Amino acid sequence: MYRYQASDAMLNSRIMEAIHPNARFVIYYWGADERLHSNPIHKHSFFEACYVLGGTGTYTDNGRTYALKSGTLFLSRPGATHQILTEDGLSLLFVAFEPDEARTDPDTLSAFRALADAERVCVEDGSRTPTALLWESLLLRDEERHNLPESAVAPAASALLLSFLGLFGEQSSSLKAGMPRDNMVLRRAKLYIRDNLSKPLPLPEMAAMLNVSERHLSRLFSGGIHESFTGYIRRERVREAARLLNESELPIKEIAEMAGFSSVHYFSRTFASMMHAPPGVFRRRARSASSAHAE
């Protein structure tokens, strides 16, 4: 039914990170072993989750032993000594991962830190849980028409890793409800800014559009991305101008207008301050570097 070796190879070659709007995960390895044998006592500095598809055995975690059978899911936490023992082998799926602290939102990161200390490490009869169903959906099957489309594999992998919070931990109310409202407001604001850089983007107008106060919107930027509202807009305007300078032949005056600068003088001064070179010099350097790379 399942193509274990092919599934193992596919996941390890394609999904070595998992990205979600709220989190990014570093994945160290996947496993799809049709007959895994006993291993020695060991520990990891990261999470390792496992799902038993067949066979029997035991799992010992920090001195406590759990029975393993088809449908059992278990989690090895960072720093926990653990061991799998089996006489006849286990059909086992496993994944080793950890959240990227720099690119995971505080609520999700806090939930995974709590998961590292959680007492629930083993779930029996979990074959109908969302975690198990997501995991099995990632496997390649004998009949290719039953495989997930390639474009769906990465999102399913992200959903699988996040599902461990609900299966083994105490998922926070904000995570259960989805993205907190403040995160949604900040995300909408950033997307609107990026899509409308050529326009004036005054704080009062943005706040009214998002149905929040000016003070609250300003606080979302300073607290959420540690940058002021105006500072973020300025940086995005310069980023867009740098892209246009590098990728187009447009005159500098037109680029300044497209990036939303009120004058060429203000554009040149702001760009030079942030990019350490005036627009014309930046363009020449970028073209020179591109030509050298092509050679």
Which domains, from first to last, does the chain contain?
A: 4-176 (2.60.120.10), 181-294 (1.10.10.60)
Which residues in the chain come in under a pLDDT of 50? Answer: 172-178
**Residue 99 host element (H or E):** strand 90-99
Strands 47-54 and 82-85: unpaired
Say what the pLDDT of residue 292 is.
55
pTM higher than 0.85? no
- Dihedral sign (CA 76, 79, 80, 82): positive
Say what the pLDDT of residue 174 is.
46
Helix-strand-coil split of the chain, %, nearest 5: 50, 20, 30
Q: Provide φ and ψ at 16, rounded to 5°.
A: -105, 5
Say what the pLDDT of residue 172 is.
47
**Residue 223 host element (H or E):** helix 214-224
Give the start-end residues of each E strand in 116-159: 122-123
d(CA 7, CA 223): 42
Say what the pLDDT of residue 145 is.
84
Residues 6+ apart with CB under 8 A from 146: none
Q: Are 7 and 32 in contact (CB under 8 A)?
A: yes
Which of helix, strand or coil describes residue 166?
helix
Q: Provide φ and ψ at 89, rounded to 5°.
A: 95, 155
d(CA 73, CA 51): 4
Q: Are 221 and 229 in contact (CB under 8 A)?
A: yes
**Beta carbons within 10 angstroms of residue 143's beta carbon:** 8
Q: Show the tokens assigned to 113.
A: 């830190």
Q: Are 47 and 164 in contact (CB under 8 A)?
A: yes
Say what the pLDDT of residue 290 is.
60
d(CA 285, CA 275): 12
Say what the pLDDT of residue 71 is.
97
